[in-house]
Amino acid sequence: MGNLDDVLEQSFARTYEPFIDVLERFPAMRVALHYSGSLLDWLVERKPEFIGRLKRLAAAGQVEILGGAYYEPILPAIPDEDKIGQIRLLAERLEELFGVKPRGMWLAERVWEPHLPRPIRRAGMEYLALDDSHFRDAGCAELDHYYRTEEEGYPVDIFPISEELRYLIPFKAPGEAISFFRERRDAGKPRLFVLADDGEKFGGWPGTYEAVYERGWLEEFFTLLMEQEDWLSVVTFDEYRRLFPPRGPLYLPAGAYREMKEWSGGFWRNFLSRYPESNRMHKKMLAVRRRWEQLPEGEPRRRAQRLLWAGQCNCAYWHGVFGGLYLGFLRAAVWQKLLQAEKLIDDHLKEPPYLELQRGDFGYSGAEEIYLYTDRLNLLLAPQLGGSLWELSWRPAAVNLLDTLTRRPEAYHKDYLEQAAPSAPAGEPASIHHLRAVKEEGLLEQLAYDPYPRVALIEHFFEEDLTLEQFARGSYREGGDFLMQPFEVQVDRLPECEGGGAGVQVTLQRQGAVGEAAPLLLQKKITLRAGEDSFQVDYRLANLGDREVFLRFGVEFNLAFLSGSDEERYYAIPGRELEDRRLGSHGAEEGVPEVTLVDRRRNLQLTLSWPEPALLWRMPVEAVSLSEGGLERSYQQSLVLPRWDFSLAPDESRDLGILLHLAAAGEREPVPAPAREEAGT
């Protein structure tokens, strides 16, 4: 979900179509193919003639079409009913397109947990392939056959994928794979060896198109296989099951392929602990699903379910050698589907304008959070983390502006810093797992890690008059003890006002210290009303000490706008012409009363305004991460920080206000002046 159209076009031209071109020239060759529902949807719309070619191959018995879950979710991460529903949905689609009813399936990322046989079999699937590492973890040494497992009496057959074959094909000379089979030939019994892996390794991974097609690797491999037909047979899963029964029962522990276990620390769900960004999406998905259950049967329920399922697509929830979580457009696509589902559900169950307040441990961290949502906006506040803001979704555009990412160490950062790039033999592409390519000179020097989560409503007290460059490098020390510390919280309902809906005000405050232990009260009030595209944040800073204190006070907002270099996404400050207005630009502007971040691609703009002019910092937050092509720098979000410098005498307080307003790009609605509002009962 969310993959770029030009990426799909390139994958089709370099992988999907040329593979079938070669396969059609070898009618005796047998393969199993799996296409995700998302890719099928694209192929049906953009390449309908390709669907026809696949149908003819399936009808001829040359291709076995495998099923799976429609939107490629990690099955253990979604409810059983969704597992069953998604698998059945893809099976129905495959039968409609190809006239075949799949009995076997592809398990996304081969992430296995022992409870899966029950929902898989209930969905109509009978078999799948898992990596040989799964079997070894269960103490199974005989990997030349397939086995049967079960859960609660629901049986599923499991085939062991050979890791050695995965690294031979197509990265070594075709003859080496034939030698692999010949060395393991046994005159006394038939032996099974399974290759099941990413189709993109045949043309999509770096260097493979040239090797596989231009230099003829695949054609030579198929030719060699056919030449060994007196002792070596190529069969599909379904054919092999008709020839030989399974062994069993065999019970496999939770696992995945070896590389995934390395990336995840042994267990896929660890990604949800390691990356709060992934956990937020996952828990949002579960929360939306619980609300979906309230919908009565009918078309809205079916539409919301498809949106919810699309939001379960696995790619943005984890990170390994592919971009995954680090690709903002993949995260944005997940959030878009979940927010569209949420809005559809709420608009069907409630009469706009509406406002709801929920309190609970939504991230399952052990700390209470506050979730506010209206017919226009969603806000998620974390009192135990400085009262910071973790979700800011504008429902009309189905966009979460806090779909941000915190930069953190990855194991491969150290590998790149310490190891020289391994070289592949001449004429052979390196496996994607062995690449050490760097896409940009000096990239390793730009590695930076964030000492706190990059979200919004983050208050800073700076000890010195530091520069934006020092702040960007993290070469400074906080001048107070407020950053991400627990705040007291009070929630008050506001009565309906003239021309507006009901409101709520959340008051967060902390008594802490700045400078040389000078006592200070920091209070912020967030006011939100139903039906409005804005919310107000009012600050009060009070000197509780007996001497004057000088404050350099700033409020940090990280805002996700997908690209820092797109001319259609930019900053606008009234009355000023910025030398570089793109969202990837750096800058410090004095005396700014307002800034707007415009996104014409998604037709939205976000305006931050404050009545008292401030020094405004702006900068991009860019991560260094690994993708198929090597190490790369990727824009994650834009950081804006208004800052005020002032003194407070003993017992003196200072009030500051910030208004955040969202609108369609170019519609420049009048923004009301920030005003404090007293809470009612």
Q: What is the pLDDT of residues 125-181, one digit of tens each?
A: 999 999 999 999 999 999 999 999 999 999 999 999 999 999 999 999 999 999 999
For CA atoms 179, 184, 189, 195, the dihedral sign is negative
136 φ, ψ to 5°?
-65, -40
Q: What's the pLDDT at 679?
A: 41
Q: What letter would DSSP give residue 205? A: S
Q: Which member of 21, 164, 198, 488 is catalytic?
A: 198
Q: What is the pLDDT of residues 7-32, one digit of tens each?
A: 999 999 999 999 999 999 999 999 99
Read off the DSSP letter of residue 153.
T
Q: Tell me whether residue 368 is one of the annotated catalytic residues.
A: no
CA 577, 634, 204 angle in degrees (round to 5)?
135
Residue 673 pLDDT: 42
Where does the pLDDT of residue 677 fall: very low under 50, low under 70, confident under 90, or very high at 90 and above? very low
User: What is the predicted pLDDT for the residue at 669?
Assistant: 47
The rounded distance, in Å, linking the Cα atoms of 163 and 140 is: 15
Band (pLDDT 50/70/90 cuts) for residue 436 is low
Q: Give the separation between CA 33 and CA 241, rounded to whole angstroms.
A: 17
- Cα separation, 18 vs 209, whole angstroms: 9
Name the strand (E) or helix (H) holding 272. Answer: helix 270-274
Among residues 393, 409, 431, the alpha carbon closest in space to that of 604 is found at: 393
Q: What's the pLDDT score for residue 103?
A: 98
DSSP for 105-131 reads: EPPGGG-B-TTTHHHHHHTT--EEEEE
**Is 70 exceeded by the pLDDT of residue 434?**
no
Active site residue 198: yes
pLDDT digits (tens, 9 = 90+) for 210-239: 999 999 999 999 999 999 999 999 999 999
Q: Are strands 63-65 and 31-33 parallel, antiparallel or unpaired?
A: parallel
Q: What is the pLDDT of residue 670?
A: 43
CA–CA distances in Å: residue 171 to residues 33, 58, 96, 214: 20, 28, 36, 14
Integer Cα distance of 612 and 463 in angstroms:
22
DSSP summary character for residue 165: H
pTM of the model: 0.94
Beta bridge partners of 577: none
Please report the pLDDT score of residue 432 as a whole number.
52
Q: What is the pLDDT of residue 630?
A: 85
pLDDT for residue 422:
47
CB 51, CB 39: distance < 8 Å: no
pLDDT band at 675 (very low <50, low <70, confident <90, very high): very low
pLDDT band at 116 (very low <50, low <70, confident <90, very high): very high
503 burial type by CB count under 10 A (0-12 exposed, 13-18 middle, 19+ buried): buried
Is-contact 248 298, C-beta < 8 A? no
What share of the chain has pLDDT > 90, as a percent? 87
Q: Span 380-391, mean pLDDT?
A: 98
Task: Give me 636's structure tokens.
Answer: 């994650």
* Domains, the chain, ordered by start: 1-132 (3.20.20.370)
Token duo for residue 328: 């903002």
Three-class SS of residue 531? coil
Region 552-573 average pLDDT: 97
Buried b or exposed e, range 285-294, using 16+ CB within 10 angstroms: bbbbbeebee
pLDDT single digits (tens) 178-206: 999 999 999 889 999 999 999 999 999 99
Indicate whether 678 pLDDT > 60.
Answer: no
Residue of 64, 72, 82, 109 marked catalytic: 109
Beta strand segments in 344-431, E? 355-360, 369-374, 377-382, 388-394, 399-400
**Cα(213)–Cα(174) distance, rounded to whole angstroms?**
13
Output the pLDDT for position 409.
92
Q: Helices in 312-392 by DSSP H: which ranges? A: 328-349
Alpha helices in 156-250 (DSSP H): 163-168, 174-183, 208-209, 217-227, 237-243
CB atoms within 10 A of CB 222: 19
Cα radius of gyration rounded to whole Å, the chain: 28
pLDDT value at position 681?
27
pLDDT higher than threshold 60 for residue 577: yes
Q: Which of 177, 170, 218 lies closest to 23, judged by CA?
A: 218
**Bigger pLDDT: 269 vs 437:** 269
- For the segment 664-674, the average pLDDT, to the nearest whole number, is 59
Residues 336-353 have pLDDT tens digits of 999 999 999 999 999 999
Count of other CB atoms within 10 angstroms of residue 426: 5
Question: How does the average pLDDT of the chain come out, rounded?
Answer: 93
Question: 194 — phi, psi (to 5°)?
Answer: -115, 130
Query: Is residue 262 packed enough to be buried (19+ CB in 10 Å), middle (13-18) or exposed (0-12)?
Result: middle
Per-residue pLDDT band at 263 (split at 50, 70, 90)? very high
Band (pLDDT 50/70/90 cuts) for residue 443 is confident
| Contact (CB, 8 A) for 206 and 431 | no
Tens of pLDDT, residues 265-307: 999 999 999 999 999 999 999 999 999 999 999 999 999 999 9
DSSP code for 71: T
Phi and psi at 410, nearest 5°, equal: -115, 150
